[in-house]
Amino acid sequence: MDLTFSAEERAFEKEVRDYIAESLTPEMKRATALTPSVFSDPDIGMAWQRALHRKGWGAPGWPVDHGGPDWTPAQRWIFEAECARAGVPNVNVMGVKMVGPVIIGFGSPEQKNFYLPRILSGEDYWCQGYSEPGSGSDLSSLKTRAVRDGDDYIINGTKIWTTHAHHANRMFALVRTSDGERQQDGISFILIDMKTSGITTRPILTIGGDHEVNQVFFDDVRVPVANRVGEEGKGWTYGKYLLEFERGSGIASAKLREALKTISDLAGSEITGRAIEDPDIAIRMSELEVDIDALEMTELRVLSALQTGQNPGAVSSLIKLRVSEIRQAVTRLGVDVVGQDGLAVEPARPLYRLNHEPVIPEDLLPVVPEYLNSRAYTIFGGSSEIQRDIIAKMVLGL
């Protein structure tokens, strides 16, 4: 057992670090630091996606024949850790990490040939049509309906919490094509062109003041049957496969470590009146650092199991739960580090392109909105309560 990487892996780490250093622009880095929601605007994220694609790193998790880089789990770890350290933008994970793997796993050859290259190159920007106003954690109760009409489906209904629907040109959606015995039956997985007539999008502002999510309405939206992935009525299986990716794709500890470092740097700075000198702040900083150490080791244990071909088990729910809780605790500490300056709310967005001088130092701007927005971490992708249900059932066998 050891924690060190091999000489080849060290060389790879250097290659990643060097490539990031030469292709991550100061603008991308600043925009990422000043984005209090999960995703920067697409001009930032997609510029980074194109930079990764140029290097052949556009989709680290994909098989090599679809354009993946054929990395070992350790290489993926190193890549994610270096990206976190450098503060790179989030790319369109709905494309690369969500719909991509589903198309690879269950899509037709035509779908693979058409969609996958466009995800890699950043030509397509995807959003996820899962939740509905009446179907949150109980996702399979969804009601958006697709009725067959010749070679088309006609879709009616509404999706909500749709991240970047206002930017996306494509959506993957779970829709009801029939009513089965169980509510999980009769759901299909459909790819939708967002320019199709009958689709309207309503912005939803988060409590942090960001427009990241939307409600999307479908009014007799005509989608070719050829846009269905896999079999009709089997969408729940594909959707669950994707959720596993969403929960388990996490190499999250490196990002959390950077987020804590950002707060720690602020706490050591004159712009917070050196908040770190408050012993309570200093101790909480250490508590969180140790929480992240534990998470990192758990992630490395999973990685190590994957490397040796073992199944890490249902540990992804466990990780999702801790990641979301630690994320919230880090942002909460951030609010306490900023102190009263946190009251100076900056409503304009994006924070990296303000037309005026902000009232408080720029580095403080995203902290309170980040905390407010981070309340969503224990809700999306299966709420913490759902994760505990899953742990009780899958890990503990209750």
Indicate the burial class of 187 (C-beta count within 10 angstroms; 0-12, 13-18, 19 or more): buried
Give the span between the Cα atoms of 161 and 205, in whole angstroms.
10
Instruction: Compute the least distance from the CB of residue 385 to another protein, in Å.
Output: 7
Active site positions, annotated: 246
Query: Residue 14, interface with another protein (CB under 8 A)?
Result: no
Residue with Cβ nearer another protein (1 or 182) = 1
Q: Within positions 33 to 92, which residues make up the interface with another protein, using CB under 8 A? A: 74, 77
Residue with Cβ nearer another protein (148 or 388) = 388
Q: Within positions 317 to 376, which residues make up the interface with another protein, using CB under 8 A? A: 318, 321-322
CB 208 within 8 A of CB 168: no
Q: What is the Rg, in whole angstroms, of the alpha carbon atoms belonging to the chain?
A: 21
In order of 185, 259, 370, the CA distances from 202 in angstroms are 29, 31, 22
Query: Residue 11, interface with another protein (CB under 8 A)?
Result: no
* Long-range interactions of 236-242: CB distance < 8 A, separation 24+: 236/140, 236/174, 236/184, 236/185, 236/187, 238/102, 238/105, 238/106, 238/189, 239/130, 239/139, 239/174, 239/187, 239/189, 241/101, 241/102, 241/105, 241/106, 242/98, 242/99, 242/101, 242/102
Give the contact letters, 278-317, x = binds to another protein (CB under 8 A), - = no.
Answer: xx--xx-xxx-xxx-xxxxxx-xx-xxx-xx-x----x--
- Segment interacting with another protein (CB under 8 A) among 5-13, 171-179, 189-197, 205-213: 5-13
- Segment interacting with another protein (CB under 8 A) among 17-25, 153-161, 166-174, 382-390: 382-390
Residue with Cβ nearer another protein (296 or 370) = 296
Residue with Cβ nearer another protein (35 or 317) = 317
With CB under 8 A as the rule, give the number of residues binding another protein.
49
Give the span between the Cα atoms of 256 and 262, in whole angstroms.
10
Instruction: Compute the least distance from the CB of residue 135 to another protein, in Å.
Output: 20
Query: Which residues face 147 on adjacent strands?
Result: 154
Query: Residue 275, interface with another protein (CB under 8 A)?
Result: no
CA atoms within a 13 Å half-sphere pointing along the CA-CB vector of 317: 17
Give the span between the Cα atoms of 17 and 79, in whole angstroms.
9
Q: Within positions 133 to 192, which residues make up the interface with another protein, using CB under 8 A? A: none
Instruction: Compute the least distance from the CB of residue 392 to another protein, in Å.
Output: 4
CB 105 within 8 A of CB 238: yes
Instruction: Compute the least distance from the CB of residue 264 to another protein, in Å.
Output: 8
Give Cα 375 distance to the centre of its chain.
Answer: 15
Give the contact letters, 216-255, x = binds to another protein (CB under 8 A), - = no.
Answer: ----------------------------------------
**What sign has the CA pseudo-torsion 386, 387, 391, 394?**
positive
Instruction: Compute the least distance from the CB of residue 58 to another protein, in Å.
Output: 25
Binding site for another protein (CB under 8 A): 1-6, 9, 74, 77, 276-279, 282-283, 285-287, 289-291, 293-298, 300-301, 303-305, 307-308, 310, 315, 318, 321-322, 385, 387-389, 391-392, 395-398
